Amino acid sequence: MGTILFGLFVILLILGIPIGFVLALSSTGAVFYSNYPLVVIGQRFFTALDSFPLMAIPLFMLAGTIMGRGGITRRIIDFALSFVGNIRGSLSHVVAISGVIMGGISGSGVADTAALGSIMVPEMTKRGYDKGFSASLVAAAGSIGLIIPPSIALIIYGVTTQSSIGDLFVAGIIPGILIGFGFLVYSYLVAKKYDYPKEGKVSWGGRWKSFKETIWALVMPIIIIVGIRGGIFTATEGGAVVAVYSLLISMFVYKEIKLKDIPKICFEAAISTATISTIIGATSLFSWLLSSEQIPQEITRNLLAITDNPILLLIIINLLLLFAGMFLDSGPAIMLLAPILAPVASGLGVNMVQFGLIMVINLTIGLLTPPVGTAMYVASNISGVPITQLSKKLMPFWLIMVTVLILVTFVPGITLLFVS
């Protein structure tokens, strides 16, 4: 059955069928071929989605949609600009800083890329920035949303491996900030080389005014982390808190969302959630078939048979995850590979929270690599820069992220410093 399952998977993937349908169709074909009853298909879909922690995903998707429509994204950008306007290449630094801040609110790398790109790429182009550099920076900075809490990818990993989502959120802070800092340094070097413009120094009075405008948005990540870590609410309830909070400030503080806009906002969030839910249900069926055929155990035995050197094994696991990220989105990749690789990592003495960040950073890089780099395609569509050109411009950002990945893999304190 394994041959049918993987054969159909590869063929459908090559044909360019969306990944949710690839997983569902290949799994259904394998069930038809085997002796399993057809009712298994419906059971696995229902069981996968009947999860309280996974309810956090639609809630954070709703919060992200509200954030984009409620003027929160624009105010975050203005706030970042007030502090870096006197630095060469100001707008590039704004993108890097905004990526980190927005990642602490929406939890979706692709959503952040779209929000940042639609505003910043046209502005940077007007001011003489190379469009390829602008698009690559937007894609890379937006993808940080996959690492910075409240990351949807970390929620899926926590549910899949039964790890603490609160611990995963805390563990993602330092790696996310390190990557953002790396982007700032690279942006400065590029700006200095090509003499990109400054936007002008903003007085402390102007900064204070911008801060007061943005404070309502800036406290959202703090609410999430403190609330979950302090036991005030769960990750799922945190999603509800942030969604309601973002709606209230967008309606009554910023006054950019009207009552009539709410149905459309909910519809957009529902479409995004439906896409993710389809993938989660199909991945659950696919993973169940793998487990039933003892394929994860066989892969684990084969990996451990290659070498007993833990450093070499961790390098092999990272390479495998990097390769998987080139073809699979983060959600299905985590649900497929976490049950297989987590036991191997645990056997090597790697903490499951640390391994969650190893996995998510690898898959974040996958958002920026062909052939299935979602954030890269979003940035390409917004900017009009061809994928081939954009891939070359993204190489320095890959290097920065791989450097942080190596640190996370071999220096546990980077992720576990604040984890109890």
Q: Would you say 257 and 29 are in contact if contact means Cβ atoms under 8 Å apart?
A: no
Please tell me the pTM assigned to this model: 0.76
pLDDT in the model for residue 358: 94
Q: Which of 416, 252, 401 is nearest to 325 (CA)?
A: 401
pLDDT tens for the chain, 420 residues long, are 667 877 888 888 788 777 678 878 888 888 888 878 888 888 888 877 777 766 777 887 787 778 777 877 778 778 888 887 788 888 888 888 887 777 666 556 666 777 777 777 887 888 888 888 988 988 888 888 788 877 888 888 998 888 888 889 889 889 989 999 999 999 999 998 888 888 777 788 888 888 888 888 778 777 877 887 777 877 778 778 888 888 888 888 888 888 888 898 888 888 877 877 777 788 778 777 877 777 666 766 776 677 778 888 899 889 888 888 877 777 778 888 888 888 888 888 899 999 999 999 998 888 788 766 777 777 887 788 887 888 889 999 999 999 999 999 999 999 988 786
| Relative orientation angle of helices 387-410 and 173-194, to the nearest 10 degrees | 140
Domain ranges of the chain: 2-416
Q: Which of 173, 149, 170, 154 is nearest to 53 (CA)?
A: 154
* CA torsion through residues 229, 233, 234, 240, sign: negative
pLDDT digits (tens, 9 = 90+) for 306-360: 777 888 889 988 988 888 887 777 777 888 888 888 888 888 889 999 999 999 9
Q: Which of 27, 128, 123 is nearest to 81 (CA)?
A: 123
Q: How far is CA 27 from CA 102, 245, 285, 350, 403, in A?
A: 36, 40, 7, 31, 36
